[in-house]
Structure 1
Amino acid sequence: MVFVGAYSSKVFDFWKGVKENLQKPLFFRSFNFFGSSEALIMLSVGLPKLIRGLHLTGNTSNNVGYAVTPVTVAELPGLNTFGISMARIDFAPMGINPPHTHPRATETPTVIEGTILVGFVTSNPENRLITKVLVKGDVFVFPEGLSHFQKNLGNGYALALGALSSQNPGVITIANDVFGSNPDIAADILAKAFQTDINVVYQIQSKF
């Protein structure tokens, strides 16, 4: 017998965690319960409904000049079964949030400070690039699963808050996924896919 279940909306007022015998099979298990028994034990004391510190600026001193502070079910277990999460995105001057996707969520970023270029690319075969320049108070939408990016256009700090339609939206950064996989994708495959010299691929892979 195969049992398949899903929830697109709330199935409980809130998920209280697992307090009974942890060895007993669970009929209903949310995705984040497929881990170790230690994770279940941690959740058995009840799920936090509060997280602090989102006002703190993330560390943007990296090669691309951004920092993401996620608030998903991993950081705030009380989100379990609610189907929502959020993230704080900090940008250094001219910093970018590189092209990436959320395989399980639509995202609506709101600009809190600064001027930010946002964009996403539609699916094959059109691969149309849609961009917009956002200022403080503007809200945009990145459709679920589509590659998207953000860039701080200013010479000062910028901040956005992203709301996501999943408690576990996931993130796939395109460059890391293609050039930083473990193990590496064969360089000849990438060279042919990107129509470039294989040594260029080796050079890019060395950065990830």
Structure 2
Amino acid sequence: MTDLTGLRLSYTRAELRRADLHPEPLAQFQVWLQEALDAGLREPYALSLATADQSGRPSVRTVLLRGADERGLTFYTNFGSHKGHDLAVNPQAELLFHWAEHERQVRAYGPVARVPDEEADAYFHARPRESQLAAHASDPQSAPVQDRAALDATFAALHRRFPEGTEVPRPVFWGGYRVTVQEWEFWQGRPSRLHDRFRYARQDDRWQVQRLLP
């Protein structure tokens, strides 16, 4: 295996000063996300979602951001998945966005709650038809499956069950979660590992901003 100890980059693209920050962290996040979208970065709305079960065992996986507004950050999944089980017993999570090309990352932490059914319905029916069928086919998500052929057979059966022109109903086991962010962190890579880091922490009804040591 290649020796990894000497592999490193020097981050020189930009700096982040206190004066650059928007007073509202959501607005700051939206600016950075839009810059990533405008630059053509690959799936900049993809995020690492960290959860923990009742015993404190952590797990992390990649999901897609599907909403970012004053209510919080929203993603969708199978309620019976590993993350769904974690969130049922420990409804809090941390999200990480990493935009390597921009030498930036954003962390967001807060409690998690399911989105209303009507909102989940609207998003589900806005998805491509194949994705709607896949949501049915992958239940219970994360459970063992005999082989790929068994999964493909289930998918084919769903095509017959819901032929083209018929509505695919949203499964009762599938929907959205929203993270009400209580703490944000914005990180900009800098040379010599002296990175710029700022944390927004919710205190009463205001955001307190602090620079953090790298």
| TM-score normalised over the length of structure 1 | 0.28
Q: Which has the higher strand share?
A: 2
Work out which structure has the larger RCO, using CA pairs closer than 8 Å and 6 or more positions apart in sequence: 2
Higher fraction of helix: 2
